[in-house]
Structure 1
Amino acid sequence: MGKKSLEPCIKLSLKRDNLQDVVDKAIDWTLMHGISMRSPESYKKGRVEIVPFTLLPSSFPKKEFEKGKNIQKLLNELMHKVAYDHEFLKNSLQSVIEADDFTAQLYKIYETVSMEGFSQDISLGLFRSDYLLHFGTTIKQVEFNTIASSFAGLAPIISQYHRYILEELGHKQEVNNIPNNNTTVGFSTGLVHAWELYNNKEAAILFVVENGVTYNISDQRFHEFEIRRLSPEIKVIRKSLVSLKSCLNLGPNKELLLDDDVIAVVYFRAGYGPETYSTDCEWSTRLLIERSCAIKCPSIQYHLAGSKKVQQALAVPGALNRFFDDPICIKQIQDVFTGLYSLDLNSDGEANIERAIKEHNNYVLKPQREGGGNNLYNKDIKNKLLEIRKSKERTAWILMDRISPGTQNNYLITPNITSQTLKSSEVVSELGIYGVIIGNKNKIMHNEEVGHVLRSKLASTNEGGIVAGFGVLDSPYLIA
Structure 2
Amino acid sequence: MSSSIPSTLPDWPPALPQSQLDHLTTLALDYALSHGLIYRPPYPAGCSSPLSASSISAPISLFPSPFPKDLHSKALKIQEIYNELYARVTMDEEWLEEVVKACFWGVDGGDGFLRELWKGWKEVREKGIKQPLHLLLARSDYLVHQNSKDPLSIKQVEFNTISSSFGSLSEKVGGLHRYLAQQTSYFGASPHLKPENLPTNSPIKGLAKGLAEAHKAFGVAGSEILMVVQDGERNAFDQRWLEYELLEAHGIPSHRASLQTLTTASSLDSSTYQLLLTPPHSSQPVLISVVYYRAGYTPDDYSTSSLYTVRTKLELSTAIKCPTYALQLAGSKKVQQVLARPGVLEYFLPTASTVGGKVSPVSKGGKMYSKEEVDELRESFMGLWPLGDGGEESLEGERLVKESDGGEGFVLKPQREGGGNNVYNKDIGPFLEELEKKDRLLPSTEPPSKSAYILMSLITPPPHLSNILLRSVKPSPDQSPLEDHSADLKEVISELGVYGVALFGKGEVVYNDGKVGTLLRTKGRESDEGGVAVGFSVLDSVVLV
Separation in 1, partners of 2:340, 2:39: 36
In structure 2, the CA distance between the partners of 1:395 and 1:202, relative to structure 1 (3 Å rule), is same
Contact 2:35 2:172 in 1 (8 A): yes
**What residue is the counterpart of 2:247 in the other structure?**
228
Separation in 2, partners of 1:258, 1:26: 40
In structure 2, the CA distance between the partners of 1:36 and 1:47, relative to structure 1 (3 Å rule), is same
Separation in 1, partners of 2:12, 2:184: 12
Separation in 2, partners of 1:364, 1:299: 28
> Which AA in structure 2 matches 1:50?
S
Separation in 2, partners of 1:37, 1:110: 34
Q: Does 1:257 align with 2:257?
A: no
Q: TM-score, normalised by structure 1?
A: 0.95
Q: Does 1:406 align with 2:406?
A: no
Q: Does 1:174 align with 2:177?
A: no
Q: Which moved more, 1:125-134 or 1:328-337?
A: 328-337
**What residue is the counterpart of 1:465 in the other structure?**
531
Separation in 2, partners of 1:11, 1:345: 50
Name the SS for the 1:25 alignment partner.
Answer: helix
Q: Does 1:452 align with 2:470?
A: no
In the TM superposition, what whole-angstrom CA distance separates every residue of 1:73-132 from its partner, at most 9, and x where no partner exists? 000000000001112111111121231111001001111222333100011100000000
> Which AA in structure 2 matches 1:126?
L
In structure 2, the CA distance between the partners of 1:189 and 1:347, relative to structure 1 (3 Å rule), is closer
User: In the TM superposition, what are the counterparts of 1:300-339 in structure 2 within 5 Å?
Assistant: 300-326=325-351, 327-339=371-383
**What residue is the counterpart of 1:117 in the other structure?**
128
**What residue is the counterpart of 2:25 in the other structure?**
23
Separation in 1, partners of 2:312, 2:375: 38
**What residue is the counterpart of 2:162 in the other structure?**
147
Separation in 1, partners of 2:86, 2:117: 17
Unaligned runs of 5+ in 1: none
Unaligned runs of 5+ in 2: 1-5, 279-284, 352-370, 440-447, 475-482
> Per-residue deviation at 1:153?
1.1
Separation in 2, partners of 1:424, 1:164: 21
Separation in 2, partners of 1:230, 1:411: 36
**What residue is the counterpart of 1:86 in the other structure?**
93
> Per-residue deviation at 1:193?
1.1
In structure 2, the CA distance between the partners of 1:110 and 1:427, relative to structure 1 (3 Å rule), is same
Name the SS for the 1:170 alignment partner.
Answer: helix
Instruction: Select 1:368's aligned residue among 409, 412, 415.
Output: 415
Q: Does 1:12 align with 2:15?
A: yes
**What residue is the counterpart of 1:204 in the other structure?**
224
In the TM superposition, what whole-angstrom CA distance separates every residue of 1:297-327 from its partner, at most 9, and x where no partner exists? 0111111100011111111111112101113
Contact 1:8 1:410 in 2 (8 A): no
Separation in 2, partners of 1:358, 1:50: 45
Identity %: 37
Name the SS for the 1:466 alignment partner.
Answer: coil
> Per-residue deviation at 1:248?
1.5
In structure 2, the CA distance between the partners of 1:22 and 1:398, relative to structure 1 (3 Å rule), is same
**What residue is the counterpart of 1:34 in the other structure?**
36
Q: Does 1:245 align with 2:288?
A: no
Separation in 2, partners of 1:226, 1:331: 36
**What residue is the counterpart of 2:309 in the other structure?**
284
Separation in 1, partners of 2:391, 2:256: 48
> Which AA in structure 2 matches 1:413?
L
Q: Does 1:396 align with 2:452?
A: yes
> Which AA in structure 2 matches 1:338?
M
Separation in 1, partners of 2:485, 2:255: 44
Instruction: Select 1:215's aligned residue among 224, 234, 238.
Output: 234
Separation in 2, partners of 1:415, 1:159: 19
> Which AA in structure 2 matches 1:409?
S
Contact 2:185 2:194 in 1 (8 A): no
In structure 2, the CA distance between the partners of 1:20 and 1:355, relative to structure 1 (3 Å rule), is same
> Which is higher, the Rg of structure 1 or of structure 2?
2
Separation in 2, partners of 1:401, 1:65: 22
Name the SS for the 1:313 alignment partner.
Answer: helix
Q: Does 1:436 align with 2:493?
A: no
In structure 2, the CA distance between the partners of 1:414 and 1:218, relative to structure 1 (3 Å rule), is same
Separation in 1, partners of 2:520, 2:485: 27
Contact 2:229 2:258 in 1 (8 A): yes
**What residue is the counterpart of 1:266 in the other structure?**
291
> Per-residue deviation at 1:36?
0.8
**What residue is the counterpart of 2:117 in the other structure?**
106
In the TM superposition, what whole-angstrom CA distance separates every residue of 1:15-57 from its partner, at most 9, and x where no partner exists? x233222212211111211111112354761121111111010
In the TM superposition, what whole-angstrom CA distance separates every residue of 1:189-221 from its partner, at most 9, and x where no partner exists? 11111111111121110000002x111111010
**What residue is the counterpart of 1:68 in the other structure?**
75
**What residue is the counterpart of 2:389 in the other structure?**
345
Name the SS for the 2:494 alignment partner.
Answer: strand
Contact 1:9 1:56 in 2 (8 A): no
In structure 2, the CA distance between the partners of 1:435 and 1:256, relative to structure 1 (3 Å rule), is same
Instruction: Select 2:178's aligned residue among 153, 156, 163.
Output: 163
**What residue is the counterpart of 2:356 in the other structure?**
none
